Amino acid sequence: MMGGRVIDADSKPNSPSNGERNLVLVGRTGNGKSATANSILGKKAFMSKAGSSGVTKTCEMQRTMLKAGQVVNVIDTPGLFDSSADPEFVSKEIVKCIGMAKDGIHAVLLVFSIRNRFSKEEGAAIHILESLFGKKISDYMIVVFTGGDELEDNDETLEDYLGRECPKPLKASRLKVPFSIVLHFLNGFLMPCGIDRRGDWLEILQLCDNRCVLFDNKTKDAAKRTEQVGKLLSLVNSVIVQNGGQPYTDEIFAELKRAELKEQMKKSYDDQLKRITEMFEYKLKETTTRLEQQLAEEQAARLKAEQATQSAQTKSNDEIGKLKKDTAELREQPKNGWCAIL
């Protein structure tokens, strides 16, 4: 797989493919994705260290076979939710991630750490995943909390944490973030003012049907490690059942993208039709206005001409009448003059 690595660890030949589970871990750098992946595999297969600088630079898959004979493929991803993540890089890693899971993705593990402060990027994680994979991806998500050792040191349970310090977007809201804001985030400019925290928000955990599990990646207790992996795989199996045994495949991804493209094309067509209609209406209105103005000018000119003709006719009649009167007076003058002489 170009740009990524696929490593076989403890796999056996002729293993039953129908028992394989493909898991993808996503989350912010420093949340313990690689450490969680190692806990699932039961060995240090991925490089992992504490800190904000990520060790995983590209998608990488490793696999193991559990005692029951079930093959588990774990795909670790770089910090796709980091504010510094480049959009082109994220897109390529998403496609690469789907390509690695040849039989499809059975579950997406959304990794959060109880040690790290909940970020705006993580608050928008669900929306970002849906924007990248399509809304169907939420049916495959499981929330994994790391830092179980810290809760144990404080004699607390995951339920205590969820009730006390779990970030509000996780337990009581789903951020309503326009896609334009997601694009800003992918360019590293997710702004606080762009997030709407008002209204009735869906819960992230509720969106995942409350599928969550606590991991202690530091414990040396083999029984505890086996138990937490068992709980996770139980949730994975419930996801598989919920989705009718159908993993998230590149066909689903392609179909979602086709639907998205179709919607975009429809919107583009509608927008184009709207622009053409508006342009036609504008031209029609412009032509109608021009013709009405031209007709008004012609009517005004005709009226002016009629008035001028009428005025000339009146003036002509007046002059003719005056001329007749003057002529009549001239005819009478000789008679009157002759009588005066006599």
Q: 275-291 pLDDT, tens per residue?
A: 878 887 888 888 889 88
Position 336 pLDDT exceeds 70: no
Mean pLDDT, the chain, whole residue set = 75
Extract the tokens encoding 265.
Answer: 């094309």
Average pLDDT over residues 155-164: 77
82 phi/psi in degrees, rounded to 5 = -70, 145
- Cα separation, 184 vs 40, in Å, equals 34
Extents of the domains making up the chain: 5-248, 249-342
**Higher-confidence residue: 12 or 156?**
156
Position 261 pLDDT exceeds 60: yes
Helix (H) or strand (E) holding 145: strand 141-146
Q: 227-254 pLDDT, tens per residue?
A: 999 999 999 999 999 999 989 886 666 6
Position 200 pLDDT exceeds 50: no
pLDDT-based confidence at 40, cuts 50/70/90?
A: very high
Position 140 pLDDT exceeds 90: yes
Assigned CATH class of 5-248? alpha beta
Residue type, 268: S
- Cα separation, 253 vs 256, in Å, equals 5
**pTM: predicted TM-score of the whole model, two decimal places:** 0.60
pLDDT for residue 327: 85
Name the least confident of 180-184, 207-211, 308-312.
180-184
**Higher-confidence residue: 86 or 299?**
299
- Angle among Cα 198, 199, 201 to the nearest 5 degrees reads 100
Position 169 pLDDT exceeds 60: no
Average pLDDT over residues 199-212: 66
Helix (H) or strand (E) holding 203: none
Position 51 pLDDT exceeds 60: no
Q: 88-127 pLDDT, tens per residue?
A: 777 777 778 778 887 889 999 999 888 877 666 666 767 7
**Higher-confidence residue: 59 or 203?**
59
